[in-house]
Structure 1
Amino acid sequence: MNIAFFLIPKNEVAYIKYESTMRQALEKMEYHRYTAVPLIDCDGRYVGTLTEGDLLWKIKNTPNFNFESTRKIWLNEVPLHKKNQAISINSEIEDIILKSIEQNFVPVVDDDNTFIGIIRRREIIDFCAKRIFASP
C-alpha cells in the first residue's frame, strides 16, 4: 500500500517558512497548539521540523534574552535538535512505520524534495490496529 492514502496535503497542514522569525513560529505553534511543525524554505522544500524544545534551547542559550528578542531571531539561527527525515510519496507503508515511532508526524516530499504534506502517527497506528485486530 502506498502512503499517499494517509497523506494530509500541505494546504491542510500548519507549517512555518524557514525565513520566519522566532516570534512568528511561536505565534503559529501557539495558535494551532502544536509542539512541532515542518519548516519549509522559500522554494517549498522541506528543511526540518521545528519543535518547542528547539525554541526553548535557543531561549536558554541566548544571553540577555527577552520576549522582544523573538522578533529579531531568525529560524535559521535556531538549531534543530532532532533530524526528522522526510519520506518520499512513493514509499510504502512499511517504510513509514519505523519513522513514526520517533515522530508525531512524518513529512512527505515529492521527487524534487518539495514538501507536499504529512502523515500523522495517529493514522499509522489506526491502520496497524485494524490489521492486527481484524477478524480472520
Structure 2
Amino acid sequence: MNIAFFLTPKNEVIYEYLDATMRQVIERMEHHGYTAIPLIDKEGKYVGTLTEGDLLWKLKNTPELNFKNTENVRVTDIPRRIKHKSVSINSNVESLISLATNQNFVPVVDDEGIFIGIIKRSDIINYCYNELKKNKNI
C-alpha cells in the first residue's frame, strides 16, 4: 500500500513559517485546537514541529516573557525538545507506522524535502481497525 492513501494534503493542514511569532503560533494552535504544528521555511521545506510543550518551556525559561510580549519572539528562537521526523511520499507503510507510534502526525515531504502534507496517527489507527473489522466480521 502507498502511504499517499493516508495523506492529508498541505492545503488542508495548519502549519506555520519560521518567521512567525510565538504569539501567532499560540493563537493559531488555540483557534484550531492543536497541540503541535509543522514548521516550514520560505522554500516550503519541512524544518520541524512545534509543540505546546516547546511553547511552555520557552515561557518558563524566559522570566521576562509574558503573553503580551510573545509577539516579539520568533519561532526560530523557541527550542524544540523533540525532533519530529518526516517521511518521503515514497516511504513504505512500515516506516510510517514506526514514526506514528511516537508522533501524533507524521509530516510528509517530496523528493526535494518540500512539505506536502501530514499523515495523522488517528487515520492509520482507524484504517487498521476497519480492516480488522472486515477480516473478523466484527
User: Which residue of the partner structure matches residue 123 of structure 1?
Assistant: 123
Q: Give the C-alpha shift of residue 65 in structure 1.
A: 1.5
Q: Residue in 1 aligned with 2:68? A: 68
Between 41-50 and 63-72, the greater mean CA deviation after superposition = 63-72
Task: Tell me which amino acid in the other structure corresponds to 1:81.
Answer: R
Give distance in 2, aligned partners of 1:48 and 1:64.
26
Corresponding position of 1:18: 18
Q: Write the letter of the residue equivalent to 2:84.
A: N
2:78 aligned with 1:78: yes
- d(CA) in 1 for partners of 2:69, 2:82: 24
Cα drift, residue 69 of structure 1: 1.8
1:126 CA displacement = 1.6
Indicate the residue corresponding to 1:110 in structure 2.
Answer: 110
CA distance in 2, matches of 1:14, 1:100: 18
Structure 2 unaligned segments of length 5 or more: list them.
none
Q: CA deviation at 1:19?
A: 1.0
Give the partner amino acid of 1:49: T
CA distance in 1, matches of 2:77, 2:92: 35
SS of 2:91's partner is coil
Instruction: Report the residue type matching 1:129 in the other structure.
Output: Y
Please report the RMSD computed on the Cα atoms of aligned residues, expressed in angstroms.
1.1
Among the aligned pairs, what percent are the same residue?
55
> What's the secondary structure of 2:101's corresponding residue?
helix
Identify the residue that residue 100 of structure 1 maps to in structure 2.
100
Q: Distance in 1 between matches of 2:82 and 2:66?
A: 25
1:135 aligns with 2:135: yes
For residue 38 of structure 1, what is the aligned residue in structure 2? 38
- The offset of 1:94, in angstroms, is 1.4
Q: Give the whole-Å Cα distance in 1 for the aligned partners of 2:117 and 2:33.
A: 18
- 1:67 Cα offset (Å): 1.6
- Secondary structure of the corresponding residue to residue 44 of structure 1: coil
Cα offsets for 1:87-127 (capped at 9, x unmatched): 00001211111111111100000000000000000111122
Q: Tell me how far apart the structure 2 counterparts of residues 77 and 101 of structure 1 sit (CA, whole Å).
A: 28
